[in-house]
A = this chain, B = another copy of it.
């Protein structure tokens, strides 16, 4: 996919509907990726994102050490790969190779972008105070990319135990909310 930069102030609209995301990192053993649904927006601009990464996950160690990652938003077209990435640990498998995900260099972090995802958000860890209690990292999005040809992306939303909801119809409501 061909991407272009996306304004940081509009990033919240990509994450607050709750898509499953692929969190990519780069540690000493190379690029790794995990599937994640436990994330939320915390601030509009600069965009802050809270997320939970279990300390049983390989990503936890890499994230704590490198303090960098990329949030990649996939669509239903690659649902199989998204689920596969959540079913195995990067300690055992090089997931990018095994699941044929294409690594691209980021502009501001060492963690890789995933080409097959329509959004890539380059992030730095800015607050680790809640890591010990809840495995919660607070990320700042420092650079955002989007494939502008995706007008109404079919994002995936996990409803537990391998059951997903695919983004449905558009509904416009006059709102004063941001």
Contact = CB atoms under 8 A, between A and B. Distances in A.
Contacts of A40: 38-40, 50-52
B79 A161 contact: no
A83 B177 contact: yes
A166 B165 CA distance: 10
A38 B51 CA distance: 12
A123 B134 CA distance: 18
A160 B10 contact: yes
Contacts of A18: 16-19, 157
A133 B86 CA distance: 32
Interface of A: 10, 12-14, 16-19, 35, 37-43, 48, 50-52, 76, 79-80, 83, 86-87, 127, 129-130, 133-134, 136, 138, 154-178
15 contacts: A13-B163, A17-B37, A17-B159, A18-B157, A38-B40, A40-B40, A42-B134, A83-B173, A87-B175, A162-B177, A164-B170, A165-B168, A165-B171, A167-B167, A167-B168
